[in-house]
Amino acid sequence: MPEDPAEPAPPAASDWSAWKRLTRLAAKAQRQGFLANLLEDAERGRALRLPVGGVLFDFSRQKITPEVLGALLDLAKERHWVARREALFTGAPVNATEGRAALHTALRAPASRQPPAAGEVVVRSRQRLLDFAESIRRGDRTGHWGNALTHVVHIGIGGSQLGPQLVTEALGGTGQPLKPLYVANIDGQAIGAALAAVNPETTMFIIASKTFSTLETLANAAAARSWFLERTNCQDALPRHFFAATAKAEAAAEFGLPPDSIFPLWDWAGGRFSLWTSIGLPIALCLGETAFKALLAGAHAMDRHFQEAPAHDNAPLLAALIDIWNYNFLGIDQHLILPYDHRLRRLPAYLQQLITESNGKRTRRDGAEVGTHTAPAVWGGEGTNGQHAFHQMLHQGTRPFTADFILTARPQHGCNEQHRWLLANGIGQGEAMALGWRSDNPHQAAPGNHGTNTLVLDQLNPHNLGALLAFFEHRVFCQGIIWDINSFDQWGVEFGKRLAKRIYHQLGDGAALPQDDATRALVAHLKALNGKAENHDPSGQ
Ligand code: F6P
């Protein structure tokens, strides 16, 4: 890892000439007013605005000059991005540490464009899922007691929750036949709140877990099943009210689910790339088959763009290259996601997992240290709320950042005046971050010179949302190509799970295990507070 990230060492992999050119170009871009000068050049701006279907990708507020763009495109060539893209789409084992493909693109491809590695199982399973959801939406398929199902409790976490929740809350609107409730945390408050809000006779439960082994999800599923049986005292009712979306059908069967209550997904569909699979069942239930297919079609259209557009017109690639420029040459280590649309308030959390669980890595594909910084901190919040929370730091703080503003041009509500204010703020904030503002009073000046992207959806509909999410998936993949890392595994999370198991037993009656002083003192403190140990001094004396 380089001593000073602002002075990035060329990656250990090779003596990349483009990397060295970018290092030389970086110093100039840091000068005060650099971006303001760039923004006076309309010709330059036009080359950095890419309309792709119903979304405009505007990179013009980034510190990108023709020289920088040329070196970034050379960098992509040096990393053989075209061959890596081909490997992704054809089902090669791009997830080498798990020996798997990453074929999320097959999940939204029509039958005519299914790669052999996926086969026809994707299309067949997709239609079974949609037929099931439509039968419930129409009321043809009811609960055990003949009542229409009006609520769906979706039990899942991470990629098994964030995607469905983002999409149903973004596109759900009012008047949907089923109301979704999402339960992720192992904190009993979460499942308790959901169960308190539903009637067992009109509620279906989805256990969404690719591995069917995630602690939180299994604990919540067991709690839901116990609650259901206590309330109904009817074991025979379970198959009409409990369903699973999983790659481990045998584990779901052991839970007590019959085959036709189990909807498959596959090892080559990564968790954070899985909303397009049966993990997206709540989307089909709440929004219907037409919307689900439009979401897939939007993502597929972005897949085609990513596959076919030349590098200089390729939105996911360009966005990724600009990210590399920001993170590895301009010393930026935080990336804000700022959706200026209340319906996209969950987008920051979704992208936080997609980006940081994919690229929060320190090891290259060959096992060597990556040699430069990889994924930054990803956070954010809906606009305009953030302007009354953390934008102060962005405008007058000391730390560099970049951001994605996401705007929707046309509202679906009737408050056009308010929507105009929303858009004015979204555009204005990006302008202020780029240009700053002068004042004789140093307390009231802002330096600006912060580059940002602006993504404008013509409207928020399933097609455009699908395209937007696929754009981010491919952007993450392209970042990983440049860093030469595996964007599709997540070994760091497995380690954390093991630590919890040790401490869980010690918080109960388990024997004390050798461990560091801080952990030992905290375990003792909690046990004392929960009456499992006496004469305890909180200071750890
Ligand atoms: O965070 C680790 C992780 O495996 C994610 O990648 C995944 O989305 C989540 O946990 C849930 O995993 P599962 O769907 O197997 O329950």
Tokens found for residue 19: 């990397």
**Rg over CA atoms, the chain:** 25
Q: Do residues 73 and 21 make contact, with C-beta atoms less than 8 angstroms apart?
A: no
Residues with CB under 6 A from ligand 1: 157-160, 209-211, 214, 217, 271-272, 357, 490, 493
Find the 158 Cα to ligand 1 centroid distance in Å: 5
CA-based nearest residue to 59, from 451, 474, 482, 470: 451
Residue 301 — very low, low, confident or very high, per pLDDT cuts 50/70/90?
Answer: very high
Q: Do residues 477 and 497 make contact, with C-beta atoms less than 8 angstroms apart?
A: no
388 catalytic per annotation: yes
Catalytic option among 357, 361, 382, 527: 357
Q: Do residues 224 and 181 make contact, with C-beta atoms less than 8 angstroms apart?
A: no
Give the mean pLDDT of the chain: 94
Atom of ligand 1 nearest to the CA of 494: 2
In angstroms, the Cα distances linking 441 to 180, 345, 387, 398, 434 are 51, 35, 22, 17, 20
Q: Do residues 102 and 268 make contact, with C-beta atoms less than 8 angstroms apart?
A: yes
Query: pLDDT tens digits for 383-438?
Result: 999 999 999 999 999 999 999 999 999 998 888 999 999 999 999 999 999 999 99
Atom 8 (ligand 1): residue with closest C-alpha?
Answer: 159
Residues counted in the chain: 541
What pLDDT, on the 0 to 100 scale, is given for residue 509? 83
- Note if the bond before 454 is cis, omega within 30 degrees: no
Atom 3 (ligand 1): residue with closest C-alpha?
Answer: 158
Among 97, 185, 209, 210, which is best to mutate for testing ligand 1, by the most ligand atoms less than 8 A from CB?
Answer: 210
What pLDDT, on the 0 to 100 scale, is given for residue 454? 98
Least confident segment among 23-37, 104-118, 239-253, 501-515: 501-515
Find the 213 Cα to ligand 1 centroid distance in Å: 9
What pLDDT, on the 0 to 100 scale, is given for residue 537? 63
pTM (2 d.p.): 0.95
What pLDDT, on the 0 to 100 scale, is given for residue 535? 55
| pLDDT over threshold 60, residue 540 | no
What pLDDT, on the 0 to 100 scale, is given for residue 13? 44
What pLDDT, on the 0 to 100 scale, is given for residue 218? 97
Atom 10 (ligand 1): residue with closest C-alpha?
Answer: 158
| pLDDT over threshold 50, residue 133 | yes
| pLDDT over threshold 80, residue 538 | no
Coil, strand or helix: which one is 337?
strand
Tokens found for residue 425: 């703020």
Find the 215 Cα to ligand 1 centroid distance in Å: 10
Find the 211 Cα to ligand 1 centroid distance in Å: 8
Atom 9 (ligand 1): residue with closest C-alpha?
Answer: 158
| pLDDT over threshold 50, residue 8 | no
Q: In angstroms, rounded to a whole number, what is the distance separating the alpha carbons of residues 22 and 17?
A: 9
Least confident segment among 268-272, 298-302, 509-513: 509-513
Catalytic option among 20, 28, 80, 497: 497
| pLDDT over threshold 90, residue 6 | no
Atom 2 (ligand 1): residue with closest C-alpha?
Answer: 493
Residue 33 — very low, low, confident or very high, per pLDDT cuts 50/70/90?
Answer: confident
Find the 58 Cα to ligand 1 centroid distance in Å: 33
Among 182, 185, 211, which is best to mutate for testing ligand 1, by the most ligand atoms less than 8 A from CB?
Answer: 211
What are φ and ψ of residue 379, in 5° steps? -155, -175
What pLDDT, on the 0 to 100 scale, is given for residue 527? 92
357 catalytic per annotation: yes
What average pLDDT does range 8-33 have in this prediction?
A: 76
63 catalytic per annotation: no
Find the 159 Cα to ligand 1 centroid distance in Å: 6
Catalytic option among 40, 230, 388, 534: 388
Q: In angstroms, rounded to a whole number, what is the distance separating the alpha carbons of residues 462 and 176?
A: 15
What pLDDT, on the 0 to 100 scale, is given for residue 536? 58
Query: pLDDT tens digits for 194-226?
Result: 999 999 999 999 999 999 999 999 999 999 999
| pLDDT over threshold 60, residue 162 | yes
Least confident segment among 378-382, 499-503, 537-541: 537-541
What percent of the chain clears pLDDT 70, i.e. is strictly above it?
A: 95
Least confident segment among 15-24, 87-96, 373-382: 15-24
Atom of ligand 1 nearest to the CA of 246: 14
What pLDDT, on the 0 to 100 scale, is given for residue 414? 81
What pLDDT, on the 0 to 100 scale, is given for residue 514? 75
Atom of ligand 1 nearest to the CA of 272: 8
Among 160, 161, 207, 275, which is best to mutate for testing ligand 1, by the most ligand atoms less than 8 A from CB?
Answer: 160
Among 97, 155, 214, which is best to mutate for testing ligand 1, by the most ligand atoms less than 8 A from CB?
Answer: 214
Q: Which residues contact 63 (CB under 8 A, 6 or more apart)?
A: 29, 34, 35, 38, 325, 326, 330, 449, 451
Find the 172 Cα to ligand 1 centroid distance in Å: 24
Residue 2 — very low, low, confident or very high, per pLDDT cuts 50/70/90?
Answer: very low
CA-based nearest residue to 298, from 463, 540, 124: 463
Find the 341 Cα to ligand 1 centroid distance in Å: 27
Least confident segment among 131-145, 378-392, 492-506: 492-506
What average pLDDT does range 462-478 have in this prediction?
A: 98
DSSP, residue by residue, 271-318? GGG-TTTGGGHHHHHHH-HHHHHHHHHHHHHHHHHHHHS-GGG-HHHH
